[in-house]
Structure 1
């Protein structure tokens, strides 16, 4: 039986892939802070559910709808959850094939803070830079 936080994160990935905004609102805490590292068009802190949903929208719009995350595995405990995934997309003649770890703090069964970790930060920055 998977840990409830593993189920929550798998559900979040599925909701994001389906564009299910209402389900995302249930899974991401209203006070969430989402940290995107690097030096690119997405870098920054996204505070609150509306900014996080805006980030997800930018992923789609900057890639003309080609962006997708392929979930590899989830590790979960009482207060934290880690999703290992590969991001794919096309942008300005470039292809994205980036491995990431999504590290989340969980409160009340929802993601309340998230940090992204990229295995190749330079390639990630190059893809998302103008």
Structure 2
């Protein structure tokens, strides 16, 4: 059984993110895409536009000194332009460590990501890590 094209798109995004391949990653988003990060910390909020999203990803790398690791659990599609992915994130930042299950809800149109909503297992723990 072949992977749904929307799932394949999201998987390519994960692969590019983990490899630090920002050029490939940037190509997967529409120019006006939005990434919604939950919580109340330095990265939370609505990152509007491809360049803002790429800036978010660069900052994550800088803040964690490249220690972030992502382990994909599953990627699911509805066949109507929506994908849900679930993964475990591990990262270090200063004297703090993070290991948390997260989920991303993607909206896709024309083979590009238009919107991502991030959901996390423990918002308080996420806030403490990024503050």
CA distance in 2, matches of 1:5, 1:67: 24
Task: Give the number of aligned pairs.
Answer: 129
Alignment of 1:23-62 (within 5 A): 23-62=24-63
TM-score (norm 1): 0.95
Could you say what secondary structure the match of 1:106 adopts?
Answer: strand
- 1:68 Cα deviation after fit: 2.1
- 1:54 Cα deviation after fit: 0.5
CA distance in 2, matches of 1:38, 1:17: 23
TM-score (norm 2): 0.95
CA distance in 1, matches of 2:53, 2:6: 19
CA distance in 1, matches of 2:95, 2:26: 33
CA distance in 2, matches of 1:29, 1:76: 19
1:96 is matched with which residue: 95, 98, 103?
98
| Stretches of structure 1 lacking an aligned partner (at least 5 in a row) | none
What does the per-residue CA deviation read over 1:35-89, in whole Å, with 9 as the maximum and x for residues that have no partner?
0010111111101111000100111111111112211110012210111011111
| Stretches of structure 2 lacking an aligned partner (at least 5 in a row) | none
RMSD (Å), alpha carbons: 0.9
Could you say what secondary structure the match of 1:23 adopts?
Answer: helix
Match of 2:88?
A: 86
Q: Which runs of 4+ in 1 moved over 3 A?
A: none
CA distance in 2, matches of 1:12, 1:87: 15
